[in-house]
Amino acid sequence: MKLPLQIRFLGMEPSEAVETAARNKAEKLDRFCPDIMSCRVTIEQTHKHQQQGRPFAVRIDVTVPDHEFNVDRVQDEDVYVALRDAFDGVKRRLEDVVRRRRGQEKLHEAPVVDAGGAT
């Protein structure tokens, strides 16, 4: 990663364990796509729902050359599950970017129509 990973906690106290988990997942992304320029992770503990606990929302913003995208509002009551799901979404988006760069994007060909008739 060109810039250091940025991790922000909203509505909760910063957690060393959660930050370590996010850093480990970001390192795996960096090994998969080494030209990531920046990655910003926001972990927020949202307001309590009437019948559930306080879910965690994770947003990840990633910048690679010629692309910037985010995975927004992945929610779960377990912060580690929310992190996992958010980073899985980022990985899928990065796979698409890498595939396009390599020219491996799916091209749907027109169906072949037999113009001569049956023989």
What is the rounded average pLDDT for all residues in the chain? 83
For the cut 80, the answer to whether the pLDDT of residue 117 exceeds it is no
DSSP string for residues in 32-85: HSTT--EEEEEEEE-PPPSSS---EEEEEEEEETTEEEEEEEEEESSHHHHHHH
CA distance 63 to 57: 20
- Residue spans per domain, the chain: 6-101
Query: What class has domain 6-101?
Result: alpha beta
Whether pTM exceeds 0.85: no
* Structural contact between residues 63 and 35, judged by C-beta atoms closer than 8 angstroms: no
pLDDT tens-place string over residues 36-66: 899 999 999 877 655 566 788 999 999 988 8
In this prediction, residue 41 carries a pLDDT of 94
